[in-house]
Amino acid sequence: MKLYVVGIGSGNENGLTYEARRTLEEADIIVGYTVYADLVKAFLPDKEYFTSGMKQERERCKKAVELAAAGANVAVVCSGDSGVYGMASLLHELAADYADLEVRAVAGVTAALSGGALVGAPLGHDFAVISLSDLLTPWEKIEKRLEAAAEADFAICLYNPSSKKRAGYLRTACGIILKYRDTKTVCAAAKNIGRDGEEYEIMTLDELKEYKADMFTTVFIGNSQTKKIKGKMVTPRGYKTE
């Protein structure tokens, strides 16, 4: 028996991989967070769905494991990639006690990549992806990761940069990074990637401190070599020149 966990990218049908689309078409039941399941319903309306809200990830995944163990062909959907802040790791843990159940992750295009393509080429060299959500990770640990990535001159991609309860987190993160980066460091913010209202803005790190981000924003912070070229953010592939 197999349980599939599928990255649906931004949720736009055109952003699905062929493998993801085929897996969803073959599923008996599609399980997911209500918002993401609704995106899939737009092009697969006749499927059976099991959905639940935010902060119910463990219960939702337990249900998926039980359904798959009982013989159903189940696909759990995640935005972006199933293994990048997705449900793949949790499903592997929950299915560990089911000897005959295999968890199969189906890759999707995570926001670091789709957003990166939108704003230019911000991740052309070594980079770090860091979530500013402290729902599951202590803020003190997030601060240490920001500090380490900034000091090492990684290009940085920030997920979950802000919410109603975390309005000042992006500003705080920029303050940490500014200890190691110039105020004019090239940055970008991409909103609603692959969805209605898609937009992006190129700005300096100093300007990013005041940017009004939300949970649908992905932020890119350049390294010491990142530049702005024809309105796009570009991080060169290497530092050496011939």
The pLDDT of residue 242:
56
Residue 185: pLDDT above 80? yes
Residue bearing tokens 């303050």: 175
Element (H, E) at 144: helix 139-151
- Torsion angle of C-alpha atoms 195, 112, 15, 59, degrees rounded to 10: -80
Average pLDDT score over the chain: 95
Q: List the domains of the chain with CATH numbers.
A: 2-106 (3.40.1010.10), 115-234 (3.30.950.10)
d(CA 143, CA 145): 5
Look up residue 140 and give its two tokens.
């003190």
Q: Are 121 and 227 spatial neighbours (Cβ–Cβ below 8 Å)?
A: no
Instruction: Quickly state the pLDDT bin for 122 (edges 50, 70, 90).
Output: very high
The pLDDT of residue 238:
80
